A and B are shown apart, each in its own frame.
Chain A
Amino acid sequence: AQTVTQSQPEMSVQEAETVTLSCTYDTSESDYYLFWYKQPPSRQMILVIRQEAYKQQNATENRFSVNFQKAAKSFSLKISDSQLGDAAMYFCAYRSATNFGNEKLTFGTGTRLTIIP
């Protein structure tokens, strides 16, 4: 079974600064997807960024980028120019790419990000 580990329960960053959230995972599969989701106080889950395991290039979405290290099974999220609206719980998630119809996600325990004005 796959596992996802987020070792930082809480992080804080000054507004406009950069912060990196860590995530490691364990799998025996070679083809999979990794995601970062954001859950603000409203509790609506919002997709931040997605990475396909077969792609060597790290995914980027505006101020959000990942450092995907497949051999090390590491998938960190970097948030640049942090904004007050970035304050939320961030969850790393894994999904197998091999089982069509079984697209369930395995989540990490989450990192609560606080933005300091």
Chain B
Amino acid sequence: GAVVSQHPSRVICKSGTSVKIECRSLDFQATTMFWYRQFPKQSLMLMATSNEGSKATYEQGVEKDKFLINHASLTLSTLTVTSAHPEDSSFYICSAPLTYEQYFGPGTRLTVT
């Protein structure tokens, strides 16, 4: 089946710094990728749709300037959390669609201290 990777799997950063998370579709091309945030014991919350070669589409309530998304190629999307604060600590998951289905990355655990 199709594979989506994420890097890093875990990251700890200091408050005020920025951190970049990469999402790659390893064996297929994806003009669209999705970024989700998941709080403990909760569902996935869609943050934004990453569009290759154009601006990302953000969901209501998601700060565009804090969560920068770049979809520079057909296999790579990046999410940069800028000026991170402890409340940004969460589990971030990306996905990429292929035909009828979505393939998910393994997720990134971000801890801001």
Chain A positions within 8 Å of B, measured between CB atoms, are 33, 35, 42-45, 47, 50, 52, 91, 95, 101-110, 112
Contact = CB atoms under 8 A, between A and B. Distances in A.
Interface string B90-105: 0101010100111010
Interface residues of B, number: 20
Contacts, number: 49
Interface of B: 31-32, 34, 38, 41-44, 46, 49, 91, 93, 95, 97, 100-102, 104, 106-107
A73 B42 CA distance: 23
Given A33-B100, A107-B43, 15 more contacts: A42-B106, A44-B106, A44-B107, A47-B102, A91-B43, A91-B44, A95-B102, A101-B31, A102-B49, A103-B102, A104-B34, A105-B102, A108-B43, A109-B43, A110-B42
Contacts of B34: 104-105
Contacts of A112: 41
